[in-house]
């Protein structure tokens, strides 16, 4: 995805969100391309899935695929993607997507948690989290929110 098609407040609907796959979390546009990013202190790191070819200047990271530290001044823009979807009949918030797994947060009435080995009950009554294959999500809706943290 190129950085030129990102619009603050844009809502994208669809099972695979226009063929890009489901996304959620923090993203940066750098050199016209979109990467996941994290800030550690004052340092900015870009990430690309290890399932994809290594971008120029990136190094291997066993947990995150490919990683590169960049000067934040050279980042074109930052944005957050808030994603909601349906998983096993439950409306969920997608907290992040890494490679082919999605980390979800959902809410259910007591005794109605999804029947899946990765479901962990949260601290609040009825709250739960799970990490599931991203292809199990349906009805994904992304909302793009612009801005730096």
Instruction: List per-residue pLDDT tens for the chain, 149 residues long.
Output: 445 455 655 555 554 444 457 889 999 999 999 999 999 999 999 999 888 899 999 999 888 889 999 999 999 999 999 999 999 999 999 998 888 889 999 988 777 777 776 777 766 678 889 999 988 999 999 888 886 54
Domain residues of the chain, as ranges? 3-79, 83-140
For residues 132 and 140, what is the distance between their CA atoms, to the nearest angstrom? 14
- Per-residue burial over 102-115, b = 16 or more CB atoms within 10 Å of its CB, e = otherwise: bbbebbbeeeebbe
Residue 113: CB partners within 8 Å, gap ≥ 6?
Answer: 119, 121, 128
Measured from the Cβ of residue 49, the count of other Cβ atoms closer than 10 Å reads 16
Task: Judge residue 140's burial from the number of C-beta atoms within 10 Å of its C-beta, 0-12 exposed, 13-18 middle, 19 or more buried.
Answer: buried
């Amino acid at each position: 995805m190129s950085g030129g098609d990102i619009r603050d407040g844009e809502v994208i609907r669809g099972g695979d969100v226009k063929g890009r796959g489901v996304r959620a979390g923090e993203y940066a546009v750098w050199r016209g391309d979109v990467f996941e990013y994290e800030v550690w202190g004052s340092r900015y790191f870009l990430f690309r899935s290890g399932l994809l070819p290594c971008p120029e200047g990136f190094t291997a990271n066993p947990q995150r695929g490919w990683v590169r530290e960049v000067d934040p001044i050279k980042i074109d823009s930052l944005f957050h993607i808030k994603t909601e979807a349906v998983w096993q009949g439950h409306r969920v918030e997608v907290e992040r997507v890494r490679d082919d797994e999605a980390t979800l947060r959902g809410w259910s009435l007591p005794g109605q948690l999804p029947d899946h080995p990765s479901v962990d009950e949260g601290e609040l009554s009825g709250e739960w989290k799970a990490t599931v294959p991203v292809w199990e999500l349906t009805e994904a809706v992304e909302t793009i929110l612009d801005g730096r943290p």
